[in-house]
Structure 1
Amino acid sequence: MAYAASPHVGEGGDPCALVVTDAGPLAALIVDLAPDDDRITAIYSVTNPDKLTGARGL
């Protein structure tokens, strides 16, 4: 199985990456940045296939 990650910018302007396989999206990783100095304050991972169905078009 092949994996690929594609960088994006989320709706809130924070960087994110979509990890995909041959079967479709595997995970979305979102980095939450502090508004004043771009420090990473949190990293979120979405792996629920029901929540990733809309990511197929990215």
Structure 2
Amino acid sequence: MVVMPPAGERSPWFRLGFWCVPAMSHLVGLTSTVLRPDALYAACMKAGGSICEWDDEPLGV
């Protein structure tokens, strides 16, 4: 999982070709136009994202 810092202003335009990877890019507030999951990961890291490690214990336990 990648944790993203809060995005600034988002583009008001609906992105053409709103399928999986471009949709996630839009939802996290990236301005790049990525089409592949590996490019989305790289763009998230470049935009200040960090890897979130999960604990072995389930939440709420």
TM-score range, shorter chain: under 0.3
Alignment TM-score, normalising by the size of structure 1: 0.24
- If asked which structure has higher relative contact order (CA below 8 Å, sep 6+), I would say 2
More strand by share: 1
Higher Cα Rg, which structure: 2
Alignment TM-score, normalising by the size of structure 2: 0.23
More helix by share: 2
